[in-house]
Amino acid sequence: MNSHALLATLICPNPLCRHQQSIMMPTTFCQLFYTCDARSMTHARKQGDCCVFCSYADKPCPSSIQAGRTCCPPRSF
């Protein structure tokens, strides 16, 4: 998988923030938390999602991509 496919944009779920940050998705583990650069707030994945990328990013995590499926229901931003 090329590095372009691993670059995702996380969007802070805090309605007062909504900061966007580009992050390389890990390929060897599911990232369960991330810290927003703008407000230094740590966010956990949503219940039922496998990782923060499936919860808050513009594309699903590598595990889902490699398996040819989406791990979570569609999101609306």
Domain-wise residue ranges, the chain:
3-66
pLDDT above 50 for 73: no
pLDDT above 50 for 77: no
pLDDT in tens, 27-36: 888 899 999 9
Cα–Cα distance for residue pair 32/3, rounded to 1 Å: 21
For the entire predicted model, the pTM comes to: 0.76
**Torsion-angle region of residue 52: left (phi > 0), alpha (psi -120 to 50) or beta?**
alpha
